[in-house]
Amino acid sequence: MKDILKSLNYDIIFTNKGNIIGNYIIIQRKGGNGSLSKTIPKDSIKHPGNNIQLKLKILLMV
């Protein structure tokens, strides 16, 4: 992945919705209100709402 990113021409933009890498990749916090995980504190790294998700804009890549 590191070599692929080095070979591409891209900018990294930080927004409230996530980090945008180039035109095709978005990394963001998964989020959620924690209603399914009442035993794990919201600020804990183990809380499921603190996972990250990776979004790829595949149709724009093709």
Question: How many domains are there within the chain?
Answer: 1
Q: What is the pLDDT of residue 22?
A: 84
In angstroms, how far is the first alpha carbon of the chain from the final one? 19
Nearest of 38, 62, 34 to residue 51 by alpha carbon: 34
Q: What is the pTM of this model?
A: 0.60
**Per-residue pLDDT tens over the stretch 13-56:** 898 888 888 888 889 988 776 677 788 888 888 888 888 899 88
> Structural domain of residue 17, as residue ranges?
2-61
**Per-residue pLDDT tens over the stretch 1-16:** 677 667 667 788 898 8
